[in-house]
Structure 1
């Protein structure tokens, strides 16, 4: 970070490292109340030094002509100036998001209560929805469609797997999803189960049924329905399902995926995470229009035959390693191990007056049944370390203690794809297998 006259980043100088840390701790997305006074001291120092001093963030590189700007205010705090020619902060930057925005983001990862869903707004007479050219979004805030999909998958018991629970047929997994929707409502008196399909060949029939409805017959809301399907690709404004059906999407397709940086992923990386479990919102874009898929959310799943949602192709590898431990313990020790892939935040509630944090969603929670009926089982947290960048590993290191605390000080074990650097992946996998097995039962 640099500091200098406003509008003149070329005349700025580097901010001392300790002062930059004070600003981040006081005003960044993870701002801490206890650090506010130190940050304010830095702001006051440079406002007194001369009128019109700005902080220039280096999150987009030191050679950026119009870098992201932080403007001192009232000798007490800073505000983000993202107007005109000045760039916005990089997604990984502490100043990309305000502290209150970070708290709101975490709440989108909490499991909602109640049966009512709010997936769509009613038509406005003075507004029409233009057709977009099929954009793709990677925003980390969890959209409503993603929350609904996670809710259904969790309620359908498809995110947890014991040795005794062999994955059922794909058709039965989809049936479990439909059954899990029974208590949810798209609108007052409108059951989600009546407007949910999991077979894309039924899409035209659902579109016709939605088109016959009016808000007054649909609980006062714009008539809409849901399609959940499996896709091989989601790009260029369309979804290609595993059944080779192409489904156009009018608006945005939001794809979940942890990325190595903020750049959009290459086609090869997207293909590696396929197949996707996709949830689509179907409704008329404008009053009088034919219903269509307005937007969609796609999340990688284990395989075309196993709908368990995972975050990356490397999590699939981690899951396979955990299944190997599970099989070994069942065969050799007659102990049952459950592998859970949680989808919701397990950390404490974040109040408005509390310091913000990251969403606390472990990659996997692994539990072993008690050795005796009156004994205690054991559980561990498994984290897939899929990237080797400093910001990624710093974030993981920040979250692991919170995850452990949320699960009664459970041990956190990392499945690393990069470290130790002097080991092969086979050696890393073997060490990981051994650590998991010993953490569950103790070395023997």
Structure 2
């Protein structure tokens, strides 16, 4: 294996040692047994490839002898998570243990919805590691380890996230819908334009990109779409299908509806629409909808199944878990705009996957806050601006079990940043609680950023 320069792929920076190459194959090859020393070797290689902000090197595998057609791995970092390998399918497939790829070794015999796990010690919900895994396997092709692949991980509440929901969350996170800098509050870009730009850069094979299988206009005729899919060079062992992603105006009776100048466009999946978050009745639009399009056993094009996730609005379709979060998010947008007048530029994050809380000499803990706000101190000249994080949680129920579960996870969240809660309820006191929450968050940001307050917020 060789580390090659990303900007000059014909330039070899160095060859991996035999120990390093074996460690990478054991670490990322499905079904391989990882040794304790492998983790340190792999982390060092990843750090050499990615400096925390930019990819500097690619890892070229020597399992293919022909120069110019050797498969490659790149390194990726999501938000503040660890570095990890990603396959670059445009350079071909591996002929070694990496042909069956895993992003990181998962604990064996761990049920992702184990409610007995202590707070923060559940099997964490992670993004889909490989864009090729967006596609279904052919019927009869077993997934590594015997899994059907129909379910994803869960968060601390113990609820499973279906595989299609995990794909949707990964798409939205990677296309930057779960991150909103303050300057983006005034942008008027269309959601599908951002998605199209993202999909164009994601390869599923040397001949196929994500942009060829995903589309964003639900009025496209199904037969036309599947005819296009039938004409594409398709990855081995994968079933032919397409993905439709759009923001729906309404969901009713198992049907997702997009309203257009030509009338209502209806998406009716045969196997129904599953919902993410707490909005299981799907009565608070708009919604992100991701649907699988394929052919049934008779060869007829169809919407097979779909997954829906609450969105804040059409203009700012930040994915949410409930209508209560919409109340909180509206206030946070106001806070972000207000503190910008003091020179503080806040970035809002909506965590769609678990965040890691590292401990010294102990296993990491995991949590998924409702929102996080990050910003830097308004520093004096020549003084490094410190990064701050405020964690926001929406409390939308009075159920004792819910409050107890939240309180346990909140202790973990406090290790990521200052925690501020906002209680949302359908009563006459909500306006007063909203005003108090706005003042508290704004004052905390001003204080942490080092802005003197001449008068109360």
Q: Per the shorter chain, which TM-score range?
A: 0.5 to 0.7
- 2:127 alignment partner in structure 1: 111
What residue ranges of structure 1 are gaps of 5+ in the alignment? 1-95, 126-138
Offset at 1:252?
Answer: 3.0
Pairing of 1:29-428 with structure 2 (within 5 A)? 97=114, 99=116, 106-107=123-124, 109-124=125-140, 140-166=159-185, 168-169=187-188, 171=190, 173-185=191-203, 189-204=207-222, 205-211=224-230, 217-243=234-260, 244-258=264-278, 265=281, 270-271=282-283, 273-286=284-297, 288-331=298-341, 333-347=342-356, 360-372=367-379, 374-405=384-415, 407=416, 410-418=417-425, 424-428=429-433
Distance 2:346 2:386 in 1: 13
Higher strand share: 2
Deviation sequence 1:292-345 (CA, Å, 0-9, x none): 1111110011112222111112211111111221122112x1221111111110
- 2:443 alignment partner in structure 1: 438
Deviation sequence 1:150-177 (CA, Å, 0-9, x none): 2222222222222222354353x21211
Structure 1 residues 392 and 111: CA distance shift in structure 2, 3 A? same
Larger of the two Rg values belongs to structure:
1
Distance 1:315 1:146 in 2: 19
Offset at 1:362?
Answer: 0.8
Offset at 1:380?
Answer: 0.5
Structure 1 residues 285 and 341: CA distance shift in structure 2, 3 A? same
Distance 1:111 1:194 in 2: 21
Offset at 1:104?
Answer: 11
3-state SS of 1:181 partner:
helix
TM-score with structure 2 setting the length: 0.61
Distance 1:188 1:120 in 2: 18
- Does the 8 Å contact 2:327/2:424 carry over to 1? no
Distance 1:392 1:121 in 2: 38
Offset at 1:437?
Answer: 1.6
- Does the 8 Å contact 1:368/1:377 carry over to 2? yes
Structure 1 residues 325 and 294: CA distance shift in structure 2, 3 A? same
Aligned length: 313
- 2:63 alignment partner in structure 1: none
Distance 2:378 2:399 in 1: 40
Distance 1:349 1:440 in 2: 24
TM-score with structure 1 setting the length: 0.63
**Comparing both chains, which one has the higher relative contact order based on Cα–Cα distances under 8 Å and sequence gaps of 6 or more?**
1
Pairwise CA RMSD of aligned residues?
3.4
- Does the 8 Å contact 1:278/1:299 carry over to 2? yes
Offset at 1:221?
Answer: 1.3
Distance 1:123 1:104 in 2: 35
Structure 1 residues 400 and 104: CA distance shift in structure 2, 3 A? closer
- Does the 8 Å contact 2:350/2:371 carry over to 1? yes
Distance 2:199 2:278 in 1: 28
3-state SS of 2:185 partner:
coil
Distance 2:440 2:257 in 1: 40
Structure 1 residues 284 and 111: CA distance shift in structure 2, 3 A? same
What residue ranges of structure 2 are gaps of 5+ in the alignment? 1-112, 142-157
- Does the 8 Å contact 1:195/1:226 carry over to 2? yes
3-state SS of 1:202 partner:
coil
Offset at 1:122?
Answer: 1.2
Distance 2:357 2:128 in 1: 14
